[in-house]
């Protein structure tokens, strides 16, 4: 009856898979149950002289085989979990390395872009300075032109006034 219950319990546990830690906990509980049944069979002395009967010894051997099989499952689960942990750490490491490479490439790209922009700023600054110097020289030329134009205008007005005055003072024949 106990074997049937154990098999039924194990079959239910296999039908509903759990996480790795739950699986390990389940395996350890199953091993504890098997050890308890081994202890129970080991304490039975149903022989005629108070010793273990052949049936008791067969139950003990069967239980020990089940314990060994359970230990094998536990070892397999430990190996599986350790390989999963290694795989996860390897994936994290490769992800970190890939992210690091991407960041380094991005930084290099940004530095190149910064250098290009700084070169453009220098070029635009020199162009602006050249244009400013040109503007200042043209402003000086324009102010000289305005002064000369003003002097010429005053001279022309003066001559015009002088000629009119001469015409008024000198009678025409």
What is the 3-class SS of 93-139, one letter each residue?
A: HHHHHHHHHHHHHHHHHHHHHHHHHHHHHHHHHHHHHHHHHHHHHHH
Give mean pLDDT in consecutive 10-residue pieces for the chain, a chain of 173 residues.
52 55 90 90 76 83 92 92 91 90 94 95 95 92 92 95 86 65
Distances (CA, A) of 66 to 75, 104, 115, 154, 161: 14, 56, 72, 127, 136
**Phi/psi class of residue 50: alpha, beta or left (left: φ > 0; alpha: ψ in -120 to 50)?**
left
Distance CA 30, CA 63 (A): 12
- What pLDDT is recorded for position 173? 59
pTM of the model: 0.48
User: What per-residue confidence (pLDDT) applies to 169?
Assistant: 80
In the chain, where the domains are located: 2-120
- pLDDT score of 172: 65
Burial class (CB in 10 A: 0-12, 13-18, 19+), 26: middle
CB of 63 closer than 8 Å to CB of 34:
yes
| Residue 21 confidence (pLDDT) | 83
CA torsion through residues 88, 89, 90, 93, sign: positive
Residue with token string 């689960």: 77
Tokens of 119: 């070169």
How far is residue 107's CA from residue 101's CA, in Å, rounded to a whole number? 10
- The whole-number pLDDT of residue 155 equals 96
């Amino acid at each position: 009856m106990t074997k049937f219950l154990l098999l039924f319990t194990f079959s239910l546990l296999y039908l509903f898979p759990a996480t790795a830690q739950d699986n390990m906990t389940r395996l350890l509980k199953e091993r504890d149950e098997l050890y308890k049944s081994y202890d129970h069979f080991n304490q039975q002395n149903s022989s005629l002289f108070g010793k273990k009967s052949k049936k008791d010894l067969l139950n003990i051997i069967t239980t020990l085989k089940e314990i060994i099989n359970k230990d094998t499952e536990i070892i397999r689960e430990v190996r599986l979990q350790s390989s999963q942990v290694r795989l996860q750490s390897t994936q994290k490491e490769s992800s970190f390395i890939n992210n690091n490479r991407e960041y380094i490439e991005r930084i290099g790209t940004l530095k190149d872009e910064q250098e290009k922009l700084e070169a453009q700023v220098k070029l635009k600054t020199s162009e602006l300075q050249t244009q400013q110097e040109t503007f200042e020289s043209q402003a000086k030329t324009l102010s000289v032109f305005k002064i000369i134009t003003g002097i010429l205008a005053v001279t022309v007005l003066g001559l015009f006034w002088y000629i009119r005055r001469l015409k008024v003072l000198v009678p025409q024949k």
